[in-house]
Amino acid sequence: MKKLLVLLLTLVMAGMLLTACGRDDAEDVAVNELTVWSWDPAFNMFAMEVAAEIFERSNPGFVLNNVEMPWETIDMQLTTIGISGEHHLLPDIMLIQDQAIEISVLTFPQLFADITNSGINFNEFASGKTDFSVVNGRNFAVPFDNGVTITAFRTDILAQAGLTIGDFTNVTWNQFIDLGRQVLDTTGMPLLSTYGVGASFMDVMVKSAGTSLFDANGQPNFVNNPAFREAVDRFIEMVDAGVMLLPGDWSDYIGTLAAHDVAGTLAGCWILGTIQEVGPAGVWAVTNIPRLNIPGGTNYSSWGGSSWVITSNANFDLAVAFMNYTFAGSTELYDRILPAAGALSTWGPAAASTVYLEPQPFFGGQTVFADIIRFSQNIPDFMGGIHHYTAMDQIDIALGNIINLGMSIEDALREAEAAVRFEMGL
């Protein structure tokens, strides 16, 4: 009898263990709460915070659950949740890199809510930006920042080398590297740093000439691509000369700015939030980026714009109301996040704001945002494509092969192109 009891208890416990694992999150979600995943507290999360504050005024009791999640993790979550079908793990709203929207919608059609007819007026957003989130004629995201690339320098460091921000304006990469050597020789400081191995940087350089890493048929085009080759040559030259630091991951990169190891940086304008945290105030100045010395080369490009998607697990009505009231409807929101974080809107009505024209004391009185808007109007059109991240991975490997392992540029690019073709199943 006793043994039977023990047996029974064991089985019951095992049963409980099993059911506990499969239990759904049955907690009642507060009706007036939205969970949001995004990265960069100085930028995206800050913007969300301000939006929640504005929304709360007309919607008392609204609660924002603002979760920090690096883009790499969000990307991984999308794949895991998409494959397992456990859609209840999704938040209400999440930030997604523009280049990832199309591929995510195509690979996992169940992840995001179709918001074409939600009442959000997509015509008010810049069309080039909205295109990223339109798949088969349906809208899947509310466009956010546009990631215009800028070069930002500390003018006090440049002055030590007898240079001004004007010397870095409208230059070619060759001129830029020469100036960098001059700064390095006189101050001992590298001109700039970037994160990762350099593929994103390379992508920005290629896009600035209106070209792509893929040809018109969507095939990878690394070897016979003059713009890409020029970009690789100049990038390697910068690294070899010590003008460019490659500190590693994102936090190491921010570290080089915070520790003032470099004279400045080249990135999307989202970096302005970090720069304003790092300081020092009054000495930073912003200009356009260098151009590739090839036909069609321009001084303008974009880096890492992103958009907000409403997931299939969302409190749909609340999420739409929230987005419609804030990111697709509040000039106040953009007026506040622009100077504080450098969040440059892609929402038309916000561009009429006078905040854009104000001189910024942090940037020595420069009308930074008017300048950036001017840059944004000159960005050449470029093709995205769903294999963007595959190309980025392989270019990172190729750069490692060239910089660290001494492989010739031709061989490294040929291998990378072959690897991308392999992954695409070509």
Partner 1 sequence: MEQKKGFKLGLNQKQGLIGWAFLSVAAALIIVMNFYPMFRGFLFSLQTGVGANMEYAGLFNYRRLLEDPQFRQTVSNTFFYLAVQVPVMIVLGLILASMLNSKNLKFKGFFRTTIFLPCTVGLVAYSLVFRQMFAVSGIVNTIAMNIGIMDTPFNWFGTAWSARLIIILGLLWRWTGFNMIFYLAGLQNIDQSIYEAARIDGANVLQQFRRITIPVLRPIILLTAIMSTNGTLQLFDESVNLTGGGPGITSRSMSHHIFNAAFQGIPQIGYASAMSFVILLFVGTLAFIQIKIGDKR
Contacting residues toward partner 1, per CB under 8 A = 3, 7, 10-11, 14, 17-18, 75-76, 79-80, 82-83, 103, 106-110, 197, 386-387, 389-390, 392-393, 397-398, 400-401, 403-405, 407, 415, 418-419, 422-425
3-class SS shares of the chain: helix, strand, coil, % to 5: 50, 15, 35
Of 254 and 275, CB closest to partner 1: 254
C-beta of 252: minimal distance to partner 1 in Å? 9
Buried b (16+ CB within 10 A) or exposed e, 416-426: bbebbbeeeee
Of 276 and 401, CB closest to partner 1: 401
Among candidates 388, 334, 303, which has minimal Cα distance to 101?
388
For the chain, the distance separating the N- and C-terminal CA atoms, rounded to the nearest angstrom, is 67
Concatenating the DSSP letter of every residue in 113-130 gives ---TTSS--GGGB-HHHH
C-beta of 205: minimal distance to partner 1 in Å? 21
User: Which amino acid, 64?
Assistant: L
Concatenating the DSSP letter of every residue in 389-426 gives HHHHHHHHHHHHHHHTT---HHHHHHHHHHHHHHHHT-
User: What is the three-class DSSP state of 142?
Assistant: strand
Q: State residue 417 phi and psi, 5-degree precision.
A: -60, -45
C-beta of 289: minimal distance to partner 1 in Å? 26
C-beta of 141: minimal distance to partner 1 in Å? 18
Of 34 and 105, CB closest to partner 1: 105
Of 291 and 387, CB closest to partner 1: 387
C-beta of 182: minimal distance to partner 1 in Å? 24
Q: Which residue has the tokens 């800050």?
A: 46
Alpha-carbon distance 34 to 212, whole Å?
Answer: 38
C-beta of 21: minimal distance to partner 1 in Å? 8
Among candidates 132, 172, 386, 154, which has minimal Cα distance to 298?
172
Alpha-carbon distance 114 to 49, whole Å?
Answer: 25
Neighbours of 55 (CB within 10 A): 22
Of 126 and 407, CB closest to partner 1: 407
Of 71 and 375, CB closest to partner 1: 71
Of 146 and 313, CB closest to partner 1: 313
Six-digit token pair at 49?
Answer: 């915070």
Of 141 and 419, CB closest to partner 1: 419
Q: State residue 95 phi and psi, 5-degree precision.
A: -90, 140
Q: HSE of 330 in the Cβ direction (CA atoms, 13 Å)?
A: 26
Of 2 and 381, CB closest to partner 1: 2
Alpha-carbon distance 82 to 108, whole Å?
Answer: 6
Of 14 and 159, CB closest to partner 1: 14
H/E segment holding residue 37: strand 33-38
C-beta of 370: minimal distance to partner 1 in Å? 38
Of 42 and 399, CB closest to partner 1: 399
C-beta of 223: minimal distance to partner 1 in Å? 17
C-beta of 38: minimal distance to partner 1 in Å? 19
C-beta of 101: minimal distance to partner 1 in Å? 14
C-beta of 179: minimal distance to partner 1 in Å? 25
Concatenating the DSSP letter of every residue in 280-338 gives -TT-EEEE---B-SSTT--S--B---EEEEEBTTS-HHHHHHHHHHTTTT-HHHHHHHH
